[in-house]
Amino acid sequence: MASDESIFSRSFSEYELKKLGCVALTICFITTFSFCTILRQPVLKPIYNLSNSRSEVLEMNGDIRIHGSSSTIFVPSNSLQEDSHSNWTLQPYARKADVFVMQYITKWKIKYHAAGIFPVCHRNFSIPAIVFSTGGYAGNQFHDFTDLLIPLYLTSQPFNRTVLFLITDKRYSWISKYKEILNKLSKYEVVNIDKKSHVMCFPKLVFGLKSHKEFGINPSEFPYHSINDFKNFLRNTYSLERETIDDYYSSKRRPRMLIVSRNNTRFLKNEGEVENMARVLGFEVVVREIEQNISLVAKLVNSFDVIMGVHGAGLTNMVFLPDNAVVVEIVPFGLENLAEPYFRIPSKEMKLRYLEYKVSLNESSLLGKYADDSAVYRDPGGIQKKGFLHFRTVYLDNQDVSLDCGRFRDTLLQALEILKN
């Protein structure tokens, strides 16, 4: 018959039994902690919808497969995915509320698929990718920055250049124009995804570009950058020398003013007269139409203390100005509502000083084109509410200005006073 003493009692001393108990307790604790930690790990969903009122943005994770020539993205299905959508049809351009332009952007299909019926991968990548369109208004410098470059900066920053750009509706002239910026945001050559007939596979893919607002960035939103961070990024990209206009204060030179010339719409008819007046008041004046070589433009604009021009894409180049420089916007009749979001607010956020000159009807070529009681004169805002295409035709595409130099002189004097202070 067995003794009342247990086998452990007979085999180990009391001290050794206590040590074994402590070891067993420690192992149990570590196992339990590890198991709980695993359970607490978030389940990575196949799709995160990051869209807002400006753009459709989806972040896709897992075994993501893209077939460019059919404009289709395949996402692994997940039983934990609580989403009624099995398919999405979206367009990767950051101006989704613009019905007119979105009809020219390629529509992409995003489909959930079980792993067993996925299309076969022809090329596997270990890096993430971003899909976006260079269609739409690309080619207009304001839209190049507002709809593409700033959103691309925001979307690609978290990847620290280790990301591949997959471009739909590719415009080769756009890629060439902004190649320095693209090279700073990604280590890799851009891919014309529309031409790819084979299936490309990625561990992560972002469809669309994050956009916060017109020509700006909301620093309270991820990735928590500001428009000045973007300005500094451009300054480094194009090796711009002037960070501020402090060199103007430390020298005895005249303040340098760039007048952005326009030869098509919203032409400043008495440009020469305005130029001469600015020179008499004390400015060193250069009149220049903005060219396509953005690297040369960036260096040119950075050398000035003041940029002046009629409302239009040319004023977008204020992004290259040194801090504390002055922006003078000549706002044609009826365009007051566009001036604020497009240039007034962005200039202040860029650490620039902003002056606005509102063109009166007497200074506009619209005078005499319509009946005296026309809504074109009485209610530009009402015209805009009826549809932007008609509004653009009237106020943007068919209006030139001839400034009252006696009245405009006060604005130039105000610019001088700002620079002195």
Closest Cα partner for 109 from 141, 69, 82? Answer: 69
- Is the per-residue pLDDT at 17 higher than 50? no
Alpha helix positions (H), 335-404? 336-339, 345-349, 375-378, 380-385, 388-391
Neighbours of 140 (CB within 10 A): 14
> How confident is the model over 120-147, as pLDDT tens digits?
999 999 999 999 999 999 999 999 999 9
- pTM for the model stands at 0.87
Say what the pLDDT of residue 116 is: 67
Which helix (H) or strand (E) segment holds residue 131: the answer is strand 129-133
Phi, psi at residue 44, to the nearest 5°?
-75, 110
CB 133 within 8 A of CB 91: yes
- Is the per-residue pLDDT at 39 higher than 70? no
Say what the pLDDT of residue 88 is: 87
> How confident is the model over 362-385, as pLDDT tens digits?
999 999 999 999 999 999 999 999
Residues 109-127, mean pLDDT to the nearest whole number: 88
Say what the pLDDT of residue 365 is: 97
pLDDT band for position 114 (cuts 50, 70, 90): confident
How many alpha carbons fall within 13 Å on the CB side of residue 296? 7
- Residues facing residue 260 across a β-bridge: 288, 309
- Is the per-residue pLDDT at 92 higher than 90? yes
d(CA 26, CA 264): 80
Structure tokens at 56: 């459709």
Taking the C-alpha atoms of 307, 308, 310 and 316 in order, what is their torsion angle to the nearest 10 degrees? Answer: 10
Say what the pLDDT of residue 85 is: 52
E strand segments, 16-92: 47-49, 58-67, 72-76, 87-90
Residues 391-400, mean pLDDT to the nearest whole number: 96
Which of 16-30, 85-99, 139-153, 406-420 shows the lowest per-residue confidence on average (mean pLDDT)?
Answer: 16-30
What does the chain come to in residues?
421
Say what the pLDDT of residue 40 is: 46
Residues 212-237, mean pLDDT to the nearest whole number: 96
d(CA 163, CA 59): 13
Neighbours of 102 (CB within 10 A): 16
- Is the per-residue pLDDT at 38 higher than 60? no
- Is the per-residue pLDDT at 16 higher than 90? no
- Mention every residue, 6+ apart, whose C-beta is less than 8 A from residue 267: 310, 400, 401
- Is the per-residue pLDDT at 2 higher than 70? no
Question: Beta strand 58-67 with 72-76: parallel, antiparallel or unpaired?
Answer: antiparallel
> How confident is the model over 262-282, as pLDDT tens digits?
988 999 999 999 999 999 999
**CA dist 219 → 169, 235, 296 (Å):** 30, 19, 29
Residues 271-300, mean pLDDT to the nearest whole number: 96
Which of 14-18, 87-91, 375-379 shows the lowest per-residue confidence on average (mean pLDDT)?
Answer: 14-18
- Is the per-residue pLDDT at 31 higher than 90? no
Say what the pLDDT of residue 41 is: 41
> How confident is the model over 321-372, as pLDDT tens digits?
999 999 999 999 999 999 999 999 999 999 999 999 999 999 999 999 999 9
- Is the per-residue pLDDT at 98 higher than 80? yes
d(CA 69, CA 192): 10
pLDDT band for position 24 (cuts 50, 70, 90): low
Phi, psi at residue 375, to the nearest 5°?
-65, -20
Say what the pLDDT of residue 408 is: 98
